[in-house]
Structure 1
């Protein structure tokens, strides 16, 4: 007897073609992600080399900036997402939360820099590297999160995860400001009074929560059709 395809079932050829298109799309997105990861790493390393050419560099100071740290973390997380897609694996809840977190951090970096710090003395001297770290990479990470359908809705009960890294970073900065006097940004300077500093810290914390909530909400968008297997592991946890 000849096996028949059940009524309403897609033809095998069509199914194979769809799977091929999905894998091609995944590889293309992974390639774009790796391009931005490489560009960001080059921007950070070039900034370090440029700073070193103009005088001695304290690595604890250079890598103490939230911009530098968040860009490096973003490169690691987005690179991991790219490799995960290339090997054909679904993203687990940890990677999804990491992506939501670094997207939040980089959006805040772009907002704070372009509203409070742009034009001030110091900062990234290389214009192209400054643009990558404060504009292009944050913008790409946001668009990647919103447009690429390889994530499932994240539950708002996990929004607190976004605050973990900024809290630790702020604690270290305040400790250094109180001991060796180094602060990465002028609004953390203890000479302005700890009351003022704490108001800025509170404002930054609220900004992270607000932007994080928007990022979590964006995970519910489905602007493009997603293959059913993408993000399946997250769906099991988030549901």
Structure 2
């Protein structure tokens, strides 16, 4: 039997996910355009600026969020074996982005011009919309312990890449993990704290995925 409540919920979900995808896409592309144009204080050659741009956790987490919510625009109850870890990875990444920026980076970051708007989109709008959308709209349940394990692959890979890239280039995307300035002991401690935060968040996401009301039809992954 057709349930008008489910239909209304799905319509709201499609609008929210579409708006989130648009905000992320516009923010990332605008910032990338500013990077190509040489806006800012980075005097490095174009190729170096491009590599650095795509090396930021913020940018990668927003791209993952865009990829994860696109299927939800078409079908708010979407499911899939490989989509589940993508969705959880994106949720983890964007929430960590929002938390770390608000607590650690925001006090010393002062964007100007278009950067004010893109900064808001990447660090505030996307994290809040992604988390609230997941809490209210789901879809649920979609998180198993296997999904949690796969969701840690990207953060750990990003940490390994960042340390390797920094060792070669001397550049680190965030001051709290700048080995050249802080030393390996402090930088690794800070990275360990972020990894612990990620594990705590993933465990919390799994618990909430099981405790919050189910949404729509439960499909096989």
TM-score by length of 2: 0.86
The correspondence for 2:31, drawn from 44, 47, 52, is 47
Superposed displacement of residue 48, structure 1: 2.0
1:90-116 deviations in Å (ceiling 9; x for gaps): 412422232122111111111111111
| Distance in 2, Cα, partners of 1:164 & 1:80 | 22
Work out whether residues 110 and 134 of structure 1, in 8 Å CA contact, stay in contact via their aligned partners in 2: yes
1:179-233 deviations in Å (ceiling 9; x for gaps): 111110112222221111111121111111011111111112334x633x2x321
| Distance in 2, Cα, partners of 1:60 & 1:122 | 23
RMSD: 2.2
Matched residue SS, 1:92:
coil
Higher alpha-carbon Rg: 1
Greater share of helix:
2
The correspondence for 1:67, drawn from 44, 52, 58, is 58
- Correspondence list, 1:18-167, <5 A: 18=3, 20-51=4-35, 52-54=37-39, 57=46, 58-85=49-76, 90-121=78-109, 126-152=115-141, 154-167=143-156
1:139-161 deviations in Å (ceiling 9; x for gaps): 11111111114221522354222
The alignment status of 1:202 with 2:192, answered yes or no, reads: yes
| Distance in 2, Cα, partners of 1:122 & 1:65 | 17
Superposed displacement of residue 80, structure 1: 2.0
Work out whether residues 80 and 220 of structure 2, in 8 Å CA contact, stay in contact via their aligned partners in 1: yes
Segments of 5+ residues of structure 1 without an aligned counterpart are 1-14, 235-239
Number of residues paired by the alignment? 212
1:123–1:159 CA distance, 2 compared to 1 (3 A): farther
1:48–1:156 CA distance, 2 compared to 1 (3 A): same
Structure 2 counterpart of 1:188 = 177
The runs of at least 4 consecutive aligned structure 1 residues that moved more than 6 Å come to: 122-125
Work out whether residues 84 and 147 of structure 2, in 8 Å CA contact, stay in contact via their aligned partners in 1: no
